[in-house]
Amino acid sequence: SRFETCWPALMKDSHGVIIIFNPELPSHLKEIEMWYSCFVQQQPLLDSQCLLVAHHKPGSAEDTENLSLAYPLNKLKLIHSNLEEDPEDVRMEFIKYFRSIITIMNESRDREEMSIIS
């Protein structure tokens, strides 16, 4: 990809990764494995710091709603976004995700402070 040279800068000190993809495109399903490998596993971040968003365009096929992803992607939190039908659900899921990231950040900061003290 043209932007691979920028990835280290994007990844530096990141606390979370949100991967948004089109579940109707088989190529996207292959690509998200690569994004997960580069941005989550190699950092390394916890799986709980990654959120997958299957974005459904207006009028898209419904059968992609029950998407079954292969390991290791099936361990990740997956939400379906369809902004025509349930924007509020998506908003709530994002808020939950951001809260969990803040909790992880606070815990790691507390651990660092304790290690300095001891």
- Tell me the per-residue pLDDT of 39-75, one tens digit each, with 9 for 90 and over: 999 888 999 999 999 998 887 766 556 788 889 999 9
Q: What is the pLDDT of residue 57?
A: 82
CATH of domain 4-117: 3.40.50
pLDDT tier, 84 (very low <50, low <70, confident <90, very high otherwise) = confident
Mean pLDDT for 1-24 is 84
pLDDT tier, 1 (very low <50, low <70, confident <90, very high otherwise) = low
Nearest to 76, CA basis, from 47, 44, 115: 47
Domains of the chain: which residue ranges? 4-117
Order of all β-strands in the sheet with 50-55:
17-21, 50-55, 77-81
pTM assigned to the model: 0.83
